[in-house]
Chains A and B, each alone.
Chain A
Amino acid sequence: MTDSSAHQPMIAADGLPLKKSLARSLRREKTRALLLIAPLLVFVLLTFIFPIGSMLFRSVENEIVSNILPRTVVELENWDATSGELPDEAVFAAFVADFVVAVEEKNHTRLGSRLNYESSGMSSLFRKSGRKVAKWNPETDGPFKEKLIKTDKGWGDPETWAIIKTHSGKYTNGYFLNAVDMQRTQNGIEAQPESKQILIKLFLRTVKMSLIITASCILLGYPVAWILANLPSRSANLLMILVLLPFWTSLLVRTSAWKVMLQNQGVINDTLVWLGLVSNDARLEIINNQFGTIVAMTHILLPFMILPMYSVMQTIPPTYLRAAKSLGATNWIAFWRVYFPQSIPGIGAGSILVFILAIGYYITPEIVGGTEGVFISNRIAYHISSSLNWGLAAALGAILLVVVLVLYWAYDKIVGIDNVKLG
């Protein structure tokens, strides 16, 4: 009699088995939670993940060559680029057929600018030839080999055709190679000529200077955060406003202010000369170099370090320090062994914030960095807005993103991301 009830599943009030009922209610709760965050999720997807993804995709996308010159690309497959000889008439005929269509649709110059990233001179070659070839009839006007070379001797150079062939794939690793000072040629992957190697150097400099800036922010920010956390709240609030005030001032204004401070005839140099510490013709060079960038960026990013440190330090009970001292610790031991370890999560949070902001900074280095103080982001900006080489810009951006993620991962391994607290 008692056995039979043990085999029966527990029944909930609505007559369903309890297990099932529980699962259903859990599922309902999860759906509700998902629905609640759905607007944010869709927003982030649409305005963040999707645009960034499509921008990064440009770093490998290369459909333009095969779209504009479909027949030529097919014909070029039979030609050996390393032979040093010109392709045969079939390639030229296919090219003229493609080119006449391209000129009609006015996208031949676009292809020219794409190929000009790989080899200077392609842009004008395509532009100039466009005017002449437009009038040809691909059916009847052949043969084209001699004719095309006559319009511009660029077409008589096997190099031109090798470049079209090398960069005819729908996807390319060429931009990523360019981003690390290498290039794709018909002979495989080669290093860029030394006179053009700049990007690796800029990457290293960006990481190095960002680390220095983060370190100076810790050194300067820690005492300020400590004072803020240990003052009575009235004076702490006043000090807090002083920390936040520059935070609310325009970035450009703060950067330009540093220019006024640091320049040769600027406030600091004038004061030093007036005090007689520096002679008038040996004024200090403290702007338009790495020093200027570090000073200005440390100042600009300092609030991002102080605020997380402050909010963590506020949670550390002052009684711990007193207890340590009453047990015989000196001031230093009490700070170093008791207080400091508890403030590390704040340092961690501040460092991540400052470092990631610093590594992508662009406007401040541009204004006060001169030539030695510019970052990789200045190069990205150049390729986005001036050279229009968005593929290379995307590749540089992707690498920068990966560098940040790798450093984040390393940070997690060494310090542990659980140890990061904003308060």
Chain B
Amino acid sequence: MKFTKTLLATTALTVAAGAALAQDMTIVSWGGAYSKSQLKAYHEPYSAKTGVNIINDDSSAEAVAKLRAMNEAGNITWDVVDVVASDAIRLCDEGLALEIDPATQLAPAPDGTSAADDFGDLLVSSCFIPQIVYSTTFGYRTDLVGDTPPSDVCAVFDLETYPGKRSLEKRPINNMEWALLCDGVAKSDVYDVLATDEGQNQALAKLDTIKDSVVWWSAGADTPQLLADGEVIMGSTYNGRLFSVIEEQKQPVAMLWDAQVFDLDGWIIPAGLSEERKQRALDYIYFATDTQRLADQAKYISYGPARASSAPLVGKHADLGIEMAPHMPTDPNNAKNTFLYNYEFWADYRDDIDAKFQAWLAQ
């Protein structure tokens, strides 16, 4: 009797544990300040509302490779994944992400505008739900650039006026575009030129003029550190990183918004989830990408919300108490001259140009 009872109790416990597990949801993101902003703006209110327990995993940098491995192993342990748009396109191409229908699966704006119109052009892939617009731009040391602070992206290529080291990302994306822009190619022609061998050589030749003065970075935290240490006088990185160097750490650094390259970051749901988990992930996405939630995130980090309807709701920074709108890459004062990352182009040419770029670097 006693044995049977114990057995039953254990089974019940196991079932209960199973049920508790079913209320867990693993959300993958980039970690650091960015994950914190999502925790405050999305995860905490969602957990409070539904009781779902959200587990954070900071693996977004390897998300594409890991999702592919999970898919091959037939065991997908992630429910919602935060990736940049180009990775979302890759995942969609590989059949590793779920296609989303904005009309039925995303919340409309408060005034009734459909989600598709509210996100507009930012829905760059049928699997991708954008959260934020971020930009890759330059920051410079205000104390090291002399009396004429740079206002033009071509200052990066001007070693006479601004001698010293600059940091650029160790990959062709963005660098090739800036090089062509500063070599006299019109903004609208950049990708047409870059699709040709001559154009690629032209960009590399322009980069060659500053090659000896470049420190190449591979992690987003590198440039802020290099600027703070005075290792470089200017360098490219994500605008949110520069915001924290300038406003939170009070370093003598200023932003050079000129020719900032817009890019997107957002959610995908892995393909191949069980129906129950899929529904939960969709429910989370519906909640976390509505107008108010996207505006809330901007309280914690200086990235622009991806919905047009969220922009007027952006308020003050939660800790610093400063207005966030002027620090957004999308603010009219900052966005006088911007450059839009061409996803289609880089999906096609990334490997080819990367091989050339790495060969050029190794010379």
Q: Mark B58-82, 1 if CB is under 8 A from A, else 0.
A: 0001101100100000000000000
Compute how far the CA of A127 lies from the CA of B89 in the bound complex, rounded to whole angstroms. Answer: 10
Q: Which B residues touch A386, using CB under 8 A?
A: 64
Contact residues, A270-304 vs B (CB, 8 A): 288
> How many residues of B are counted as interface, with CB atoms below 8 angstroms from the partner's CB atoms?
36
For the complex, what is the distance from the CA of A102 to the CA of B208, rounded to whole Å? 44
Q: Could you say which of A40-48, A105-113, A141-149, A217-225 contacts chain B?
A: A105-113
Q: Nearest residue in A to B356 (C-beta to C-beta)?
A: A195
Contact B215 A107 (CB under 8 A): no
Cα-based distance from A339 to B347 in the complex (angstroms): 61
Please name all residues of chain B whose beta carbon is closer than 8 Å to the beta carbon of A385 when the two chains form the complex. 61-62, 64-65
Q: Residue A110 contacts which of B61, B93, B170, B344 (CB distance < 8 angstroms)?
A: B93
- CB contacts (< 8 Å) of B286 on chain A: these are none
Complex contact A202–B355 (CB within 8 A):
no
- Contact check, B348 vs A121: say whether CB atoms are below 8 A apart: yes
A196/B351 contact (C-beta < 8 A), A110-B93, A388-B68 known:
no
Bound state CA distance, A382 and B350, in angstroms?
12
Residues in B neighbouring A390, C-beta threshold 8 A: 68
CB-based contact B348/A371 at 8 Å:
no
Q: How many Å lie between the Cα of A382 and that of B64 in the bound state?
A: 12
CB pair B351–A116 under 8 Å, yes or no, is yes
Pair A366/B93 contact, Cβ less than 8 Å: no
- Cβ 8 A contact of A387, one of B61, B218, B354: B354
CB distance from A373 to the nearest CB of B (A): 10
Once bound together, how far apart are the Cα atoms of A379 and B230, in whole Å?
30
Which chain B positions have C-beta within 8 A of A109?
A: 92-95
Say if the beta carbon of B30 comes within 8 Å of chain A: no
Cβ contacts under 8 Å, B37 to chain A = none
Q: Is A173 an interface residue (CB 8 A)?
A: no
- Interface positions of B from 312 to 360, Cβ below 8 Å from A: 344, 347-356, 358-360
* Cβ contact within 8 Å between B216 and A107: no
Q: In the complex, are the beta carbons of B348 and A265 less than 8 A apart? A: no
| Inter-chain contacts of A198 with B (CB < 8 A) | 355, 358-359, 362
Q: In the complex, are the beta carbons of B362 and A201 less than 8 A apart?
A: yes
Interface residues of B in 180-224 (CB under 8 A from A): 197, 201, 215-216, 218
Which chain A residue lies CB-closest to B87? A386
Among residues of B, the one whose C-beta sits closest to the C-beta of A393 is: B65
Does A247 touch B at the CB level, under 8 Å? no
Q: A109-B94, A265-B229, A265-B230 are in contact. Are A379 and B358 (CB under 8 A)?
A: yes
Interface size class of A (residues with CB under 8 A): 35 or more
A366 to B358, CA, bound (A): 13
**Structural contact, B348 and A124, CB atoms closer than 8 A:** yes
Q: Is the CB of B216 within 8 A of A388?
A: no
Contact B231 A127 (CB under 8 A): no
Over the window 360-381 of chain A, the binary record of Cβ atoms lying under 8 Å from chain B Cβ atoms (1 yes, 0 no) is 0000001000111000000100
* A120 part of interface (Cβ distance < 8 Å): yes
A370 and B215 contact, CB distance less than 8 A: yes
Q: A109-B93, A110-B93 are in contact. Are A120 and B362 (CB under 8 A)?
A: no
Closest residue of B by beta carbon distance from A387: B351
Closest CB of chain B to A57's CB: distance in Å?
A: 13
Do residues A195 and B94 form an inter-chain contact, with CB atoms below 8 A? no
Pick the contact of B344 from A122, A124, A288, A371 — CB < 8 Å? A124
A255 near B: Cβ within 8 Å? no
**Residue pair B93, A264 in contact (C-beta under 8 Å):** no
Residue among A112, A116, A371, A389 with max Cβ neighbours from chain B (10 Å): A371
- Interface positions, chain B 245-262, Cβ under 8 Å from A, are none
Inter-chain contacts of B350 with A (CB < 8 A): 387
* B229 and A370 form a contact (CB under 8 A): no
**Which residues of B sit under 8 angstroms from A263, Cβ to Cβ?**
229, 231
B241 at the interface (CB under 8 A from A): no
Interface membership of B165, Cβ < 8 A = yes
Chain B nearest CB: distance from A139 CB in Å? Answer: 26
Contact assessment for B218 and A120 in the assembled complex, using a CB-CB cutoff below 8 Å: no
- Chain B minimum-CB-distance residue to A109: B93
Contact with A along B35-65 (1 / 0, CB 8 A): 0000000000000000000000000011011
Residues of A219-269 contacting chain B, CB below 8 A: 263-265
- The reply to whether A120 and B348 contact each other, CB–CB distance below 8 Å, is yes
Chain A residues with Cβ below 8 Å from B92 are: 109
CB of A264 within 8 A of CB of B90, answer no
Let me know if A335 is at the binding interface, CB within 8 A.
no
B20: Cβ under 8 A from any A Cβ: no
Over the window 332-373 of chain A, the binary record of Cβ atoms lying under 8 Å from chain B Cβ atoms (1 yes, 0 no) is 000000000000000000000000000000000010001110
Distance (whole angstroms) from the CB of B281 to the closest CB of chain A = 18
B12 on interface, CB distance cutoff 8 Å: no
Contact yes or no, B351 A120, CB < 8 A: yes
A110-B91 Cα distance, complex, nearest whole Å: 9
Bound form: Cα–Cα A288–B229 in Å: 15
A122 CA to B347 CA, complexed, in Å: 10
A385 vs B349: C-alpha distance in the bound complex, in angstroms? 17
How close is B208's CB to chain A, nearest CB, in angstroms?
A: 12
User: Please, which residues of chain A bring their CB within 8 A of the CB of B103?
Assistant: none
Supply 5 A–B pairs (Cβ within 8 Å), ascending by A: A113-B93, A198-B355, A201-B359, A263-B229, A265-B230
A109-B93, A196-B356 given; 20 more Cβ-contact pairs under 8 Å: A120-B348, A120-B351, A124-B348, A195-B356, A195-B359, A196-B359, A198-B355, A198-B359, A265-B229, A265-B230, A288-B216, A385-B61, A385-B64, A387-B350, A387-B351, A387-B354, A388-B64, A388-B65, A388-B90, A390-B68
